Amino acid sequence: MPLNFADRLNNVETSAIRELFKLLGKPGIISFAGGFPDSAMFDVDGIRIAANAALTNEPGAALQYGATEGYGPLREQIASFMRNKGAQDLTPEQLIVTTGSQQALDLLGKTMISPGDKVIVEGPTFLATIQCFRLYGAELISAPVDGEGVKTDELERLIEEHRPKFVYLIPTFGNPSGALLNEERRRAVLAMAVKHQTLVVEDDPYGDLYFGETPPPLSLLALSAQVPGSRELLVHCGSLSKVLSPGLRVGWMVGPAELLGKATMCKQFSDAHTSTFAQATAAQYLLAGRMPGTLAKVRKVYAERAAAMGDALRRELGDGIEFVQPQGGLFIWARLTGANGKLADGAELAKRAIENNVAFVPGAPFYASNPDVATLRLSFATVGIDKIEEGIARLAASL
């Protein structure tokens, strides 16, 4: 009997990336395809100590059902973590804990999107966001991005034209663009939110992964304190996934009280609450003060790998490729130039590359509309420097 699935599934396809991932088990393959942090960098000792402390100090709370909004001590620790990053006035009540920031995106879809509603995203943007918002029937409109993030003049034009339900941005080391939105544009986005009374969603799982001495510009959340009227129009999604462990599934959402209330109601019917054991462990971890050390360590390793990959790409692929060297995050977003008759199709290169035992993700699926087929996303996060050099040499041979 054919199963009569819900109409909403007609709006989404299995991701092209998942199909590619099936090929990654091939022996000897060097993969730049994943969006994962490096599991070799997990602070296993720190997490073990934190899990032990959670079970020793508060076994009831860590193993019992909990509040949908999140475990109180974790909300306090997250608020304090965010205050240290410039969101000076943030209180625990202004955020809810989510099961990864992915759930925050799902809750946004559930609470805000009716079929046919327009949402502006970056072109390119996070693939799971495209899929998730489409599942709720959103019509997605892509705003163009350059090396400094979304082009705000274009964004404003699109807001005026489409009057979207909200705008979804990854301002800091975007996935897949790696781009860092400059401060002037950040202020422009907040001013635009106020001027057009448009909700803006800042998805920020990578902001702590900066490579230089100084942190990136303040998050939209932190800057919103300086732009009157903007905080009420801003949602900020954060996550421990890329800095501590994605397996913990601890993320959070800051937003207007009314929106958080509706999101909490929807979360209640979805997973009741994020794992109390994971939340208590995360709270103990943050309380123990290990995060700054962990961040310093991962930043250093990713910075070295990003530099090695950039150097190798310039050396091996020369004028066949163009990209902006990322200042943080996990990805190099590149474009095949087609110079001197070379290949300029990311999907075709991905096929040839797999044959040569190197993998990456072609860029086209990251666009909600008008894909640039010459683009590709290369992750440097999980591969050591020797393998990065070898993998990029294989990529050059494939080109």
Binding site for ligand PMP (CB under 6 A): 35, 100-102, 126, 170, 175, 203, 205, 239, 241, 246, 251
Smallest separation, CB 279 to ligand PMP (Å): 14
Q: Please, what is the minimum distance in Å from the beta carbon of residue 306 to ligand PMP?
A: 16
Q: How far apart are CA 52 and CA 76, in angstroms?
A: 20
**CB of 120 closer than 8 Å to CB of 198:** no
> Do 178 and 271 contact (CB within 8 A), yes or no?
no
Of residues 101 and 398, the one with the C-beta less far from ligand PMP: 101
Q: CB-wise, 43 or 203, nearer to ligand PMP? A: 203
Nearer to ligand PMP among residue 101 and residue 294 (C-beta): 101
Measured between alpha carbons, how far is 313 from 32 in angstroms, rounded to an integer?
13
What is the nearest approach in angstroms of ligand PMP to the Cβ of residue 37? Answer: 9
CB of 29 to ligand PMP, least distance (A): 21
CB of 393 to ligand PMP, least distance (A): 27
- Spatial distance between the Cα atoms of 397 and 4, rounded to a whole number of angstroms: 47
Instruction: Kindly state the smallest distance separating residue 377's Cβ from ligand PMP, in Å.
Output: 11
Judged by CB, which is closer to ligand PMP: 99, or 224? Answer: 99
Minimum CB distance to ligand PMP, residue 248 (Å): 9
How far is residue 204's CA from residue 139's CA, in Å, rounded to a whole number? 23
Measured from the CB atom, is 367 or 398 closer to ligand PMP?
367
Residue nearest to ligand PMP (CB): 100
Q: Which is nearer to ligand PMP, 108 or 159 (CB)?
A: 108
Contact 20, 350 (CB under 8 A): yes
Which is nearer to ligand PMP, 68 or 175 (by Cβ)? Answer: 175
Q: Virtual CA dihedral for 13, 16, 17, 23, nearest 10 degrees?
A: 120
Identity of the residue, 246 or 365, whose beta carbon is nearer to ligand PMP in the bound complex: 246
Q: Which amino acid is at 185?
A: R
Neighbours of 83 (CB within 10 A): 14
- Nearest distance, CB of residue 228 and ligand PMP, angstroms: 28
Handedness of CA 369, 370, 373, 378 (dihedral sign): negative
3-state secondary structure of 261: helix
Q: How far is the CB of 317 from ligand PMP (least distance, A)?
A: 25
Helical residues (DSSP H) of the chain, grouped into ranges: 16-21, 44-57, 59-63, 72-84, 100-112, 127-135, 152-162, 183-196, 220-223, 257-270, 276-287, 291-317, 346-355, 385-398
- CA 8 to chain CA centroid, Å, is 24
107-128 in b/e form (b: 16+ CB < 10 A) is bbbbbbbeeebbbbbbbbbbbe
Closest to ligand PMP by CB, 320 vs 363, is 363
Distance between CA atoms of residues 399 and 387, nearest Å: 18
